[in-house]
Amino acid sequence: LTGRSTSAIVSRVNDATGARARLVGAAARLFLTRSYHAVGVDELCTAAGVRKGSFYHFFPTKADLAKAVVDHHADALWARLRPAGTVASAAERLRLVADAIGDTQAGFEERFGKVVGCPFGNLAAELAAADEPLRLHLQAVFAHWQHRLTELCRQAADEGTLRAGTDPALLARILLAQYQGLILLAKTDHASAAQIAPALHEILDRYLPERVRP
Amino acid sequence: LTGRSTSAIVSRVNDATGARARLVGAAARLFLTRSYHAVGVDELCTAAGVRKGSFYHFFPTKADLAKAVVDHHADALWARLRPAGTVASAAERLRLVADAIGDTQAGFEERFGKVVGCPFGNLAAELAAADEPLRLHLQAVFAHWQHRLTELCRQAADEGTLRAGTDPALLARILLAQYQGLILLAKTDHASAAQIAPALHEILDRYLPERVRP
């Protein structure tokens, strides 16, 4: 669903020495704290403690590594968005997504000393115009994310907690855009990650009038 | 206010051959349609029809050119946000800002065949973590933009058109984030620029309940 190729999954399974996983981890960190273009293959290999031959064994190009980095972050995001043990209402789950977005950025802030941006949004802004396969890969992640939000908004409508007259698909788009925009602004002006979730809840207050927080 | 240096203004005044303006124009186009890192000084000089010596006369570094590109786009934005001849209400002006954001992206779409992103947002996502002077420059532009939106939201409150209980500064942040997020998503999934303004008006409907469109 996220556009991950079968060969990438096979490579991951065959990563007995952990070289592939170390490359993905190093790239995830360096792309977030610098940018995709600012980090070269040599530096990625050094940071991962991997020889260049191994790099090209796993990733024919740096763009292929970027796709694996996207999949790595997407796996973590889908795991966070999975409903917890007890079945919550859709309204609660939309609130929990907002908290998860804020928590993820707070985690980056703790690790890197500042908000460093959304892993998907950063790569999309830098590469969507320049690298078509990577754009398609990121488009699939955003489409899946937006689809899950649309489903939650539809479910909230069914449960009678969504503001009457709201288009669930449009609200899903607005929420995803709000995540991306707030994170980008915090990255740019070094606002605290703690500002992100409250702004998202403010928007949700407008669409889920009966605010039920866990 | 946008952090533009006096020396940059002087250089602009002394640009008798138009070389500086051509460099800024070429960089604005190439940074938007590719990215900052993807375009080198040689390519910028060729595109602008300017010798490399002239480049470094005007811009000690490529990052200085990026600052000039930011100023170029900021000047255009502030001109668009200036109130028209007749004084409109703050609510109307917030609606007009939403239309201006959509129109700007529609202009890029017409020129480049697709939504290519916000000139500020693109550079911020790519460079805020990697280039501190450029981050500060972009932070100043976003701060000014957010300040203007805050003033409009405050004025709407004074005019009785803002939803009761709304924090004008928070709403300004939300609106700026919404512009950035919607543009980034459209850039990534090649959505039409025509989708941007309606989504912004949907948010405004929640905060300016008495919708008055010109």
Q: pLDDT digit string (tens) for B83-97?
A: 766 768 999 999 999
In order of A130, A199, B143, the CA distances from B140 in angstroms are 27, 21, 5
Question: What was the pLDDT predicted at B214?
Answer: 42
B135 vs A: CB within 8 A:
yes
What pTM value is reported for the model? 0.92
Question: What was the pLDDT predicted at B85?
Answer: 67
Question: What was the pLDDT predicted at A11?
Answer: 56
- For CA atoms A40, A46, A47, A53, give the dihedral sign: positive
ipTM, 2 dp:
0.92
Using an 8 Å Cβ cutoff, are A149 and B178 in contact?
no
Which residues fall within 8 angstroms of residue A179, CB to CB, at 6 or more apart?
Answer: A101, A118, A196, A200, B181
DSSP letters spanning B127-174: HTTT-HHHHHHHHHHHHHHHHHHHHHHHHHHHTT-SPTT--HHHHHHH
Distance in Å, alpha carbon of A126 to nearest chain B alpha carbon = 5
A95 token code pair:
């609130």
* Interface list for A 102-121 with B (CB within 8 A): 114, 116-117, 121
B198 token code pair:
């309606």
Using an 8 Å Cβ cutoff, are A99 and B88 in contact?
no
A28 vs B: CB within 8 A:
no
A164 vs B: CB within 8 A:
no
Q: Left, alpha or beta for A130 (phi > 0: left; psi -120 to 50: alpha)?
A: alpha
Give the C-alpha separation, A58 to A53, whole Å: 9
Helix (H) or strand (E) holding B53: helix B52-58
Using an 8 Å Cβ cutoff, are B95 and B201 in contact?
yes
Angle (deg, nearest 10), helices B168-189 and B90-112? 20
Hey, of B35, B139, B170, B207, which one would you mutate to test binding to chain A, going by the most A CBs within 10 A of its CB? B35
A127 vs B: CB within 8 A:
yes
Question: What was the pLDDT predicted at B10?
Answer: 54
Question: Alpha carbon A51 to chain centroid distance?
Answer: 29
Give the C-alpha separation, A3 to A66, whole Å: 13
Give the C-alpha separation, B132 to B66, whole Å: 13
- For CA atoms B107, B48, B126, A53, give the dihedral sign: positive
Q: DSSP class of residue B91?
A: H
- HSE-CB for B170 with a 13 A CA cutoff: 15
**Alpha helices in chain A, H assignment, sequence order:** 6-13, 19-33, 41-48, 52-58, 62-81, 90-112, 119-127, 132-158, 168-189, 196-207
Give the C-alpha separation, B199 to B15, whole Å: 41
Hey, of A185, A196, A206, A208, which one would you mutate to test binding to chain B, going by the most B CBs within 10 A of its CB? A185
Which residues in chain B are contacts of A177 at CB distance < 8 A?
177-178, 180-182, 184-185, 199
Give the Cβ contact number of residue B205 at 10 Å.
13
Predicted confidence pLDDT, tens digits, chain B (214 residues): 444 555 555 556 677 789 999 999 999 999 999 999 999 999 999 999 999 999 999 999 999 999 999 999 999 999 988 876 676 899 999 999 999 999 999 999 999 999 999 999 999 999 999 999 999 999 999 999 999 999 999 999 999 999 999 999 999 999 999 999 999 999 999 999 999 999 999 999 999 986 444 4
Using an 8 Å Cβ cutoff, are A181 and A62 in contact?
no
Mean pLDDT for back-to-back runs of 10 residues, chain A (214 residues):
51 76 97 94 97 95 97 94 78 94 96 96 95 97 97 96 96 98 98 97 92 44
Give the C-alpha separation, B197 to B48, whole Å: 33
Angle (CA) A112 A198 A101, round 5°: 45
The overall longest dimension of chain A from CA atoms, in Å, is 58
Say yes or no for a CB contact (<8 Å) between B176 and A184: no
Angle (deg, nearest 10), helices B90-112 and B62-81? 130
Question: What was the pLDDT predicted at B7?
Answer: 52
Locate tokens 């070429």: which residue? B26
Give the C-alpha separation, A81 to B63, whole Å: 39
B51 vs A: CB within 8 A:
no
Which residues fall within 8 angstroms of residue B37, CB to CB, at 6 or more apart?
Answer: A35, A36, A37, A38, A126, B126
Say yes or no for a CB contact (<8 Å) between B173 and A187: no
